[in-house]
Structure 1
Amino acid sequence: MNIELLKNKTVLVTGGAGFIGSNLCETLLSNNIKTICLDNFATGKRKNIIPFTEDKNFKLIEGDIRNLNDCQNACDGIDYILHQAALGSVPRSINDPITTNDVNVSGFLNMLVAARDAKVKRFVYAASSSTYGDHEALPKVEGTIGKPLSPYAITKYVNELYADIFNKTYGLDTIGLRYFNVFGKRQDPNGAYAAVIPKFVQQLMNHESPIINGDGSYSRDFTYIDNVVQMNIRALTTKNELALNTIYNVAYGERTTLLELAVLLKTYLSEFDSAIKNLEIKHRDNRIGDIPHSLASINKAKKLLNYQPQFDISSGLKEAVSWYYKNI
């Protein structure tokens, strides 16, 4: 990665106290890059950024992307933006589509306007694999999508449309990263909308049976956080003009069923606690809005950004399990 290209530059990470955002802040700061974190702590955690607060290159701005003034304040003097701030979760968007839209669409537009006005050099943002919607073909290729299956998916597709228009109309360089089921350290296992991996980990560590939606045959392209960080840095620093103003899948490029996932987690966690290996895996009905299968083609990212994911599902889970066991 050409992270040295960011030396003497300032990077704004929106949602920098969140799961992905805090990992991005950590990487930037470890390379002595001036990093600004914008977060309203709706879903981000203060504990995620406590290690950074003593770093002279780190600054926290408490603010909400739904407030244009907060966005403009955060963008003052910024060279590059990694926009991670959003309300995730398909079920959350189904239960409260208005708030999801306010944050993910109105907030996104505020950030684009603020970035444009501040003459930011590049705006890299978190898109989503949910944009593929009801398109059934595998693997998922960036140029072919279906109809969205949730309010959340609609908001993330609208982000892509806005980013494209801001490039064509105002000349703002953007890159969208369609994340596929990201997991890893600092991903919150608590709350109604926790992702499947930290939720399963916490259940198993509490000697509770993990509960799978459906029969366990649904599959996902689970993507370890370090692969995602690599992709963000590559998108931020690429000098390839052909790589700009487009969308990329961010994944490993292999799929794992939910049942396989649960078995792997039992195996790795039982190395720390032998009682876990005997826990039963339980099932319940599928969730509304969930797609059966997801698998990414990462050929475009490899070709244009030289993306080289280092962690497959097995090595990523081992890293994640070790972190959770020490931190939960």
Structure 2
Amino acid sequence: MTQRFTISTLSTIDPVVRSSISFGLALERSDVAVIHHDFIGDQIRRTVADASGVIESDATELDHACLGCAVREDLVPTLARLKERDLWSQVLVALPVTAESAPVMRALHTETRRSGLLEGARLGAVVCAVDAATIADDAFSDEYLADLGRPLLGDDERVLAEAVAPMLAHADIVALVGDDPASAHARATVDHLRGQGSTVLTSAMEDIDAARIMSTEHRCDDALGRVDPLRIDRHVEPDCAGVWSIDLSSDRPFHPDRLRARLPELGGHEARTRGHFWLPTRPADACVWDGAGRQVSVGSLGRWGRHERGTRLVVTGRGPERDTIAAAFHDCLVRDDERGTDWHAHGDALDDWLGAPDPF
């Protein structure tokens, strides 16, 4: 009788944590296989193992060294082969260190639908495993991944906080592991940055709860809502252990001149800032704001569509800059006496951020 085939995913920023958890699960349960992927130059290196040892070890040339290509060209066919063999009921996909889980799960969700290569398979939990001893610093760190020896690809210019934030937000389960998984600072950091509806497990790495991971169902739309800048399905936790969050929102747009001038006060901190905004010079465009570890990325998402136009930033930090960020946010909003401005004539000089604006 064919077993129900469940695919769970593990994201990490530490290769030791990844190996300890993934191979620990494989050794614990004979019905679990583990897939490791790593980028090496223009290849994706794949290792498949279970309790008996290594099953496959191979490298595939990629036309484009990106995670989406790896999923399409290597991971999905590998999972289809394992499913067809009917020897394992559960597979844990251990993503490359610092890789985001959202694009992978989006692709896997499509393939589990009717006529997909993984039709009938079930998506288990997306797990983000972090070291309780370091996550309170890692989540706000402005150290470059390349300097830490952990770039996803050769041209990876992210800082550590930029890698951690989307992992925590997208995960169904955040696993706090290490010698002191119950650390108050670690738990507060995770609780402020994880997505709405997610849960936290605390344990030593060798005692991670495999049954909990595999039995949890991944709901793709809910998880994507946690990382969608137009939705930000993240609960704002009360201040705890020095970690705070604020939810800044308005139906008013940002004034383009003041936004540019006050960018350092809004994003130049060791804080996580995420959300969306609009500009009176580009009223139809939904703009995204994504900041972590003193780095800020802004861009255009296209039209607002079914989303209500507005300006919202959710900010999490642990330093004294909360009032500075809040004051800068409110100062950037268009004021009552500016509402009659001829914005078409005013322009915004933000083409380098957002591209050329559409005609009014």
TM-score range, shorter chain: 0.3 to 0.5
> Which has the larger strand fraction?
2
Instruction: Give the TM-score normalised by structure 1.
Output: 0.35
TM-score using structure 2 length: 0.32
Structure showing greater relative contact order (alpha-carbon pairs closer than 8 Å, 6 or more residues apart): 1
* Structure with the bigger percentage of helix: 1
